[in-house]
Structure 1
Amino acid sequence: MTDTVRLMHYDPRWRQEFEQTRSGILHSCLGWVIDVQHIGSTAIGGMIARPVLDVVAAVRDDDDSQQAIAESSDMIEGLNFRRVTTPMWAAEAIVLCKPRSGDPTHRVFLTYLDSPFYRSSIAVRDALRSDRELSLRFEETKVTRWRQGAGEPQKYADDKSVFFAHLIEHHGG
């Protein structure tokens, strides 16, 4: 794994890659996962992003949700993903990265439908997609903080989390 965060210009292939990932998750999870959404900067057209495709996959929020998450996690691991430590800001999700070794190219946040993480991820994505000025401000902040932190992963994550907390506070979640 690299010791620095890499950013790149938007790649239109990310949308197709999401569709393939979505299809694989829905197909392999045998009905346990009922919704898969593209989130993060790669889901925002034209935005400079870390080239890691972020996806939120959701199971029903019912009596079977714990079993659904356990079963789905095992099935997603079968798609060449590995389970990783869940960051505090995604507390109610299980995080799986692909490939199994090396720098991740995909991250799946497995949670239940309507969890706080699910709601805030979708709200932030939708706010950034619908408000070009907001997305440009976020991109500028992200790139500036990335440069100031010399691409150091924890500093980059901490700086972004402040901006996301502000977005969630103002755009729901």
Structure 2
Amino acid sequence: MEPRTPRRPDVTDVELVGGPEPLTVTLADPDPRWAETFREHRSRILSALAGQDVQVEHIGSTSVPGLAAKPVVDLVVVVGDVTAEEDHLDPLLAAGYVLRTREPGHRLVRTPERDVHVHVYGRGDRAVEDYLLLRDHLRADAADRALYEATKRDLVARTWEDTNDYAEAKTAVIAAILERARVTR
């Protein structure tokens, strides 16, 4: 299905509900319970968005067997129109998630415990393709999986003023891995 024309203009700024949050990054050994947590939240999301044409995928390090990760399960939800928040954001909030970020093309809700992050994008957004490509490549490529884990272990020793700063610090390595993944795809 092709992306729909947005119902309204998207937001133009980044809104961090609650402001920056200091973060102490910890890495946990791979945990098979992460897959179960994904399945539970996938079911919860699909129930909340019943009747809508959505895609729900497990992304991030917890989706890669054998990879150490922050103990936060990430999901991506693909909707027809990210600007139609009454269709997806309101039902997710009613299902118990809380809004953290609203930015152009992306909404992030999470559990109150902050152990599950749900990234909402519109159909056709390049970020979704990149998340899935990275996940699938790391599942298949032991060398890049080891590189990514080593990078995260180097970064874990630092104190971060905000979660987004930690994510930004991984950008160059992720970009290089994605480039190799595109070549081998």
The one of 35, 45, 66 equivalent to 2:55 is 35
Number of aligned residue pairs: 162
Q: Distance in 2 between matches of 1:21 and 1:110?
A: 14
1:32 partner amino acid: Q
Q: Which runs of 5+ in 1 are unaligned?
A: none
Query: Following TM superposition, by how much is the alpha carbon of 1:2 offset from its aligned partner in structure 2, in angstroms?
Result: 6.1
- The CA deviation string for residues 115-147 of structure 1, in whole angstroms up to 9 with x for no partner, is 111111101111101111110111011101222
Q: Secondary structure at 1:11's aligned position in 2?
A: coil
Pairing 1:117–2:127 present: yes
Residue pairs, 1:1-173, within 5 angstroms: 3-60=23-80, 65-66=81-82, 68-86=84-102, 91-99=104-112, 104-147=114-157, 149-150=158-159, 153-172=163-182
Q: Distance in 1 between matches of 2:160 and 2:31?
A: 20
Q: Distance in 2 between matches of 1:67 and 1:30?
A: 18
More helix by share: 1
Structure 1 moving runs of 4+ over 3 Å: 66-70, 150-155
2:169 partner amino acid: D
Question: Which stretch shifts more, 162-171 or 10-19?
Answer: 162-171
Q: Distance in 2 between matches of 1:69 and 1:122?
A: 23
Q: Secondary structure at 1:96's aligned position in 2?
A: strand
2:82–2:121 CA contact under 8 A, matched in 1: no
Q: Which runs of 5+ in 2 are unaligned?
A: 1-20
Percent of pairs with identical residues = 28
User: TM-score, normalization: structure 2?
Assistant: 0.78
1:41 partner amino acid: S
